[in-house]
Chain A
Amino acid sequence: MSHIDFLLPMPGGQMMAVGWYDGAAGAEPALRLVLGGGSRRALRHRFHLRDDLPPGHSGFVAIFDTVPGHGETAALSLGERRVALPAAPATGAWADLVARAVDGSFLAVLSEVLCADGATHPLPAGIVQALAPRLRSFGNFAQTPQGAVGFDRFDHCPGMEHGVVAGWALGGDDAGISATLVLLRDEALSVHPVLLNSLLRTDLAEVGRGFAYTGTDGLCAPLHLPRGTGAGSAPFAVLLLRSGQAFLAAAGAGESRQKRVYAARLMELEEYFVPPQTGCSLLPDIVLPRPDAQVRAHLPMPLKPQTHVLLHHNGRDCDLRDVLRHLTRHLKGRISVTLLRDAATPALTRAIDGARSDPGGERLGEIRTAPRPNGAGAGMTATPVLFARSSSLLQMLGWSALPEAMGDCDAEAQVLMEAPLLTPLGDADDTALAHIFRREHPAFVAVFPARILGHPGSAQGSPCLTMEGELRARLMALAEGGRVRFRAEGTSAVFAGRGPDGAEDALAHAFDLALLSRAQQERIAS
């Protein structure tokens, strides 16, 4: 005995039959569409368990590459069984499926249409619209005798075009688990790989009784979201889990996070991350930017010496006065400064006033604050730009010669970096030093033309949280082409300064270095 529950129209003139028959799932007879005098094999089909059927019965879905014509007699054959098709598939059948199908059938359909044969099969918006209410109805926990799944978080960050789903999945002793993440976003469904057994979850020891608990039963799915879409709709994630029997749980609507908050949550998750295979990472991809492909041998020096300083002041706010005085003592000509801060605190303002009153302070031009200035920022286009942390300026020697040397330097940028301990520098050339720069992320002072910083808005698309991280990325990209002149600083000790925002700032730098480290690892691997 067999029965057709739904006959669904598919894109490309295809058709899906959803039904059941009185045979066990393992038997799996041949599925054919009988049409006129002939029959056609199903393009794809799937048999599955259904809780609503008596033992010995199985559900099925089958996709055929043709649709019966109007008034044409058609039937489905399952081995020796034959069932007449009730009618030609209609668009409203999808809504009918959403309204009436048992979970087993719904999941089987979803699996088959979205990710059968290891490929993603896009669905028309109309079908997605029909499916969406049912998808959104699932809770964040599901359990069957064969497995259980739960979701803890789903964050995404529009600025990074990245998201991450985290949860856990426990399977039965004798059943392997496979999982796929289905993302509903902007009237489209997409599927994403899930990293099973990728997070330490020792807290599941009690929950895991009855399942094959391992301690690393956490799952996560880093999502690389396309740019420029979905501004108005929160993505919604659903996990399709198969463990003998498929079932669904929803991660729910993703919570949009600000960059720093998102980075903090990612870094927190990374603490528990157990990469299931080499190269897996929770972090967003960083594509090393290629600033201005045109090679310019010389930075034209302005008639009067002047330097624009991008200063990451990592001393006490009141100590900025000393740093600015240090600049006026060591740099010739006029100096303008962008303090890489959101705003000037009262102590910073007092320090700036103090520096202006100090000997040499009359050469200080505009001092502004901006956390992520770009190359088109006022006053930066015609002057060499010097980037440094205060701690580097005060402790590294030789940096003050960099701006003047730009006029005679063939490279696009010059970097003076702290030589990390145990780094053999004997006859290190630019290539060797560039490698150290990429690998060790040492403290550095850099001088470069403003255009290296990119155009307005370029920072928005970067996953880097800090100006320093962004600049490191750009210098690494330039160094790939041999366009950076590196020098190593041999001072005995360069003490790190303090972060103006404490732990939050430290995390931002750690996040950026993690991104850059990953980029470097991928570069080596490739």
Chain B
Amino acid sequence: MSMDVNLAFFIDLFFHIMGMWWVIVPSILLGLIVGAIPGFSAANTIIILLPLTFLMEVEVGLVFMIALYCSSRLGAGIPAILVNIPGTAGAAATPLDGYPMAKKGLGQRALSISFVSSIIGGVLTTILALVTMPLLARVGFYMHSVEMIVVMLFGISLIASVAAKDMIKGLIAGFFGLMIGSIGADHVYATPRGTMGFLELYDGVPLIPALVGLFAISEAFLVIESGSLLSKSNVQNVDNASWKETIKGVRITLKRWYHVTWTSMIGLIIGVIPGAGAAIASFVAYQQSRTFSKTPDAYGTGHYEGLIAPEAANNGVTAGTLIPLMVLGIPGGATAAIMMVVMQYQGVPTGPRLFVERPELGYGVFMAMLVTYLLMAFTILPMSRYMSRVTMVSTTYMSPIIIAFTLVGSFVPREYMFDMYLAFAFGIIGYIARKTGYHVAAILIGVILGPLLEQYMLRALKMSDGDPMVLFSSSLGNILWAALVITLILPAFLKRRRQPKTVE
């Protein structure tokens, strides 16, 4: 089947997909719920509903999966902001500035900022993906082990930012996290390392128990001390909040459109790289946002740009992940892999043939993403006012709910009881860390990025027979090394440059 791909085609496609609102809106609501519950994700929800997807027309099935995928990404940020529980690893950088805002009674504004930056980030990257698809698809080919090591180091350098107030303690937390992330069988000879005899740790430390333990369980134990998430004056803030707070959040984000744009681009590019994902994108975006900020010291205290960066980036990843699948037939992530299964089951080709034989499906996937983000603006934004009231719930009810639901969430991905115990153990580590002035986010960054860094490091060293100079053997790698060094030095340089001005 051949079809002219021109402006009229895209306009026609847009309205055609818009006509499927009856699939998109319920999928958005379902995606928000599964995104907000740690342990659940778009991928495992789609797997559960796979038989239903096979019964749908291929176009409807794809639209359903895309809407679920996009909204679950956005949904993961909601508990991250309100109760310091990132729904997925992709939202792990969101509470760094989102939660301090909620604690000040500005949860509604924080949610509004998060939603608008996610939606704008999603829309921009989808449009860019549509325009530059063939070009972007090639990014994955240039990113080998050496380049990926530098990308990982970009993310890991966030530890230094998180630790800005007490560098030594931050580095201890970060490198302890990297050590914990190294638990498991090694990638070449499967030698068990640091597993303490637990077979369940041979595949490494599962992310969800670490995530919910460090953030949620430790939080549930901590909030008992204060009796409420909010102080009395901040409860007043939430009580007095009106729709104006939501509008203010929209205005704040729109005013920082350039910030949303470039951080979402980071997400798009990292999303294209197979195996990279939303967690790395949000850490890198947060770190870069802080590096180039005029007020880096305010990060971690409820800085608007500190919330915009990870949210725009992790929604930029959604379009990026689908590009290798659509253009090359290579799935860039778990959800993309499931989509590929559905497409193959329905006899739809993936890769270059898709755009020749079924352009309405190839471009339709990205158009569905665009429509989903647009419809999300109308469905989710009004909810921010009511969602923010979660912060007013007494700890009498909040703490047990957090514990029960997050323990179940840690069980879900692998269905091991061991993962519940592990989440509790991480909860105790997180509680001690927070009580004694260590940052749990630094530990988590290490746990997430440690195994990935090791994997790429080993691959590079194996190829060079153990010669460490391989790390400086590629032109693109060297450019990235230079960029990394610049971003590490730049904050100190900028600070020094600004100091005389403030003295004057």
- A and B pair up: no
Q: Which residues of B contact A (CB under 8 A)?
A: none
